[in-house]
A and B are shown apart, each in its own frame.
Chain A
């Protein structure tokens, strides 16, 4: 019966939309793709730029609205023909003490036949693949040659706090035309990535991301493979004419984050690999998307997972697919036993919010073509065996006595809205009777688009003090082992999963919903599904002021961040 009231309110909202205060600004919006069956299309003459999922139309109560605050596209007025064509990522092998010049610039990218003005590091997307030995320190001279303030964050690296790239915490933004010198020390083997820490919803989304691979001195660190492939996933939201513009003063798509409709691997819509029969391929996977969580597999090829963000797993494990939340990394090996074609897919169960059903959605991101030449050497035996990484278990043993201690700190993940369109609010009231633990796609991009960081406040709330986001003032001593409990409140007006990232430290997920994790791995980004309680143990060994935040770019910009101060054990001045 409350639903009846809700629907009545929705209808009222729909009728009121025509007289909405928010006017469509034709100067900042590109001409949109006409949506078949879109209400009000002819009458208002308004072009709706947001592509809707198949078979859906914009909610009548939202027609005619645009995000308040206006929007823009970087490189406006720049003729794409005047820009260099983007190049694919090149490997830069570096030794301890080496220096790299890294410039963020405008580039021209042609994706699915359309030219776009976008960004790149050193003219490449992804940026240069920095390959360094473990324990090396390199110097990176960053030059900002784009039209927005920027910085470089070295995601997952336990480096000196001054070089963390966290704008507003460890440095000022690097203004267009300026430079900043980073000294980056790599204490842990694995795969990491770098990206700006300013307007990630724009800069990272337009191509400013790249990987670092840190090589262990142990040549048998991973089980053997015939080749290595580095895959970065991201997505772009486009309509028939252009990129969907970005919020001028802060992100739009503040509810769910911007979920693209053009899925890219290493910046391209189609990844290809040619391999031999029986090859074992080691894949370094990174999710650089603003919001999308992926479920990746290779056409049924058997896979095992070796490592994640900051370490290997205690035990290699056979997996059907890899769930990759924003900013997470996994290192997996797949074996392509027979000649043929293996599709690299993202396969998820999307919620159709109109029909109240789950729909299988399969995005083909690439193809591995396997010929009949046998792989040499043949690693079938090593691939079939699941290794135990005793060194990882030994390293973690020191932390095991703390697994069961009560949480030192508790954070509740929630959200508040203010000034959202009435139709959006009423829809949420009706629709949030159920929320999926993970929303894999954006089923309601119209509502999402029309939400900005002024209207949506994403919140990390300290249960002990009630303080929120940057008002939380957490200090721990260097060397302490901190148990943090993260609870994703399912009762907020728009619950959603959050990939929570802690800078400059490493952490273990010790339990999920009270169930102990049995195969541990050091992480820097942890997915918290809706309704879930996740206990992490933070190894607070690296002094400094470290951001703790949601890695959905639009949630971060909508407030979902705090700082964990790790105070030097020897006191100030260390």
Chain B
């Protein structure tokens, strides 16, 4: 089943998927059971700005996302789907922002104006879909998800009231 194509793809995947977030811009992507051979990674690239860093008036970072994917099966192999779309999803899963279409190879999509988010690549019925409904094949978390939560260590940080 894995065969020659599979192992070549695996070798490619090893090249593109970092072991963990290597920096504040890197997002390793993980395959879901719907497409277990899929591999990918993403890099946040600051949107164009005349300033040293691109942010909104509220101070949210403004990023484009460079997604490198391999082994994405044909969307139609998963059902009545015709394209893969990247979505930026708030951590409460309430808001799915369409970023753009993704194919095997490198795709640049954007903008993201969220500081903490999930990145989900899903098969969708239409490459122009603006609402999410299809199965996800790759997903990852923004690098900021590595932020440690010390609230869990109440014995240590006693007195925190907020």
User: What residues make up the interface of A, taking CB atoms closer than 8 Å to B?
Assistant: 3, 7, 10-11, 14, 36-39, 54-57, 59-60, 293, 295, 297, 300, 305, 308, 313, 317, 319-325, 328, 330, 347-349, 351-358, 360-361, 430-431, 433-438, 440, 490-491, 497, 499, 512-513, 515, 518-519, 521, 526-532
Q: Which of B28-36, B55-63, B68-76, B93-101 has 4 or more CB atoms under 8 Å from chain A?
A: B55-63
Q: Which of B4-30 contact A (CB under 8 A)?
A: 21-25
A297 pairs with B150, CB closer than 8 A? no
Q: Which of B44-52, B82-90, B121-129, B132-140 has 4 or more CB atoms under 8 Å from chain A?
A: B44-52
Closest chain A residue to B153 by CB distance?
A7
B59 pairs with A434, CB closer than 8 A? no
B46 pairs with A512, CB closer than 8 A? yes
Q: Taking the nearest CB of chain B, how far is it from the CB of A381, in angstroms? A: 23
CA distance A515 to B116 in the complex (A): 23
> Is B149 part of the binding interface, using a Cβ–Cβ cutoff of 8 Å?
yes
A10 pairs with B156, CB closer than 8 A? yes
B24 pairs with A437, CB closer than 8 A? yes
Supposing A11-B156, A319-B50, A529-B53 touch, asked if A353 and B24 sit within 8 A by C-beta, the answer is: no
CA distance A372 to B162 in the complex (A): 43
CA distance A530 to B22 in the complex (A): 12
> Is B77 part of the binding interface, using a Cβ–Cβ cutoff of 8 Å?
no
CA distance A328 to B53 in the complex (A): 13
Q: Taking the nearest CB of chain A, how far is it from the CB of B110, in angstroms? A: 12
A295 pairs with B160, CB closer than 8 A? no
> Is B144 part of the binding interface, using a Cβ–Cβ cutoff of 8 Å?
yes
Select one of A347, A433, A515 contacting B57, CB under 8 A. A347
Select one of B21, B22, B55 contacting A323, CB under 8 A. B55
- Ranked nearest first, the 9 interchain pairs of A and B with the lowest CB-CB distance are A527-B52, A55-B162, A434-B146, A37-B159, A356-B149, A323-B51, A356-B147, A348-B59, A433-B146
CA distance A328 to B56 in the complex (A): 19
Q: Taking the nearest CB of chain B, how far is it from the CB of A358, in angstroms? A: 4
Using Cβ atoms and an 8 Å threshold, which residues of chain B touch A297?
Answer: 57
In terms of DSSP, what is the predominant structure of the interface of chain B?
loop
Using Cβ atoms and an 8 Å threshold, which residues of chain A touch B45?
Answer: 513, 515
CA distance A430 to B156 in the complex (A): 14
> Is B151 part of the binding interface, using a Cβ–Cβ cutoff of 8 Å?
yes
CA distance A142 to B79 in the complex (A): 78
Q: Taking the nearest CB of chain B, how far is it from the CB of A103, in angstroms? A: 34
Select one of A354, A518, A531 contacting B150, CB under 8 A. A354
Using Cβ atoms and an 8 Å threshold, which residues of chain B touch A7?
Answer: 153, 156
Using Cβ atoms and an 8 Å threshold, which residues of chain A touch B150?
Answer: 353-356
A322 pairs with B51, CB closer than 8 A? yes
Q: Taking the nearest CB of chain A, how far is it from the CB of B132, in angstroms? A: 24
Q: List 7 A-B contacts (CB under 8 A).
A: A295-B57, A313-B50, A321-B55, A348-B59, A438-B53, A521-B50, A532-B46
CA distance A532 to B46 in the complex (A): 10
Q: Taking the nearest CB of chain A, how far is it from the CB of B145, in angstroms? A: 7
User: What residues make up the interface of B, taking CB atoms closer than 8 Å to A?
Assistant: 21-25, 45-46, 48-53, 55-61, 115-116, 143-151, 153, 155-162
Using Cβ atoms and an 8 Å threshold, which residues of chain B touch A526?
Answer: 52
CA distance A32 to B151 in the complex (A): 26
Closest chain A residue to B63 by CB distance?
A437
Point out which of B21, B57, B155, B159 has the most chain A C-beta atoms below 10 A from its C-beta. Answer: B57
A320 pairs with B56, CB closer than 8 A? yes
Select one of B52, B144, B153, B155 contacting A358, CB under 8 A. B144
Using Cβ atoms and an 8 Å threshold, which residues of chain B touch A433?
Answer: 21, 146-148
Q: With A37-B161, A348-B59, A354-B151 given, name 19 new contacts (CB 8 A).
A: A37-B158, A56-B162, A57-B157, A300-B57, A321-B55, A355-B149, A356-B148, A356-B150, A358-B116, A360-B59, A361-B59, A433-B147, A433-B148, A437-B61, A513-B25, A527-B53, A529-B24, A530-B23, A530-B24
B145 pairs with A434, CB closer than 8 A? yes
Q: Taking the nearest CB of chain B, how far is it from the CB of A25, in angstroms? A: 25
Select one of B22, B57, B162 contacting A54, CB under 8 A. B162
Select one of B52, B155, B157 contacting A529, CB under 8 A. B52
Closest chain B residue to A56 by CB distance?
B160
Using Cβ atoms and an 8 Å threshold, which residues of chain A touch B24?
Answer: 434-437, 490, 529-531
B158 pairs with A39, CB closer than 8 A? yes
Q: Taking the nearest CB of chain B, how far is it from the CB of A431, in angstroms? A: 5
A531 pairs with B159, CB closer than 8 A? no
B52 pairs with A328, CB closer than 8 A? yes
CA distance A238 to B151 in the complex (A): 27
A323 pairs with B157, CB closer than 8 A? no
B147 pairs with A55, CB closer than 8 A? no
Using Cβ atoms and an 8 Å threshold, which residues of chain A touch B55?
Answer: 295, 321, 323
Using Cβ atoms and an 8 Å threshold, which residues of chain A touch B149?
Answer: 354-357
B51 pairs with A434, CB closer than 8 A? no
B160 pairs with A347, CB closer than 8 A? no
Closest chain B residue to A6 by CB distance?
B148
A353 pairs with B148, CB closer than 8 A? yes
Using Cβ atoms and an 8 Å threshold, which residues of chain A touch B21?
Answer: 433-434
Q: Taking the nearest CB of chain A, how far is it from the CB of B98, in angstroms? A: 21
Using Cβ atoms and an 8 Å threshold, which residues of chain B touch A356?
Answer: 147-151
Select one of A295, A354, A361 contacting B157, CB under 8 A. A354
A347 pairs with B159, CB closer than 8 A? no
Closest chain B residue to A318 by CB distance?
B50
A55 pairs with B160, CB closer than 8 A? yes
Using Cβ atoms and an 8 Å threshold, which residues of chain B touch A319?
Answer: 49-51
Q: Taking the nearest CB of chain B, how far is it from the CB of A153, in angstroms? A: 21
Select one of B53, B57, B115, B159 contacting A320, CB under 8 A. B57
Using Cβ atoms and an 8 Å threshold, which residues of chain B touch A3?
Answer: 148
Closest chain A residue to B44 by CB distance?
A437
Using Cβ atoms and an 8 Å threshold, which residues of chain B touch A14?
Answer: 156
CA distance A369 to B147 in the complex (A): 41
Supposing A55-B162, A353-B148, A527-B52 touch, asked if A321 and B156 sit within 8 A by C-beta, the answer is: no
Using Cβ atoms and an 8 Å threshold, which residues of chain A touch B151?
Answer: 354-356
Using Cβ atoms and an 8 Å threshold, which residues of chain A touch B25?
Answer: 437, 513, 531
Select one of A55, A440, A529 contacting B59, CB under 8 A. A440
Closest chain B residue to A526 by CB distance?
B52
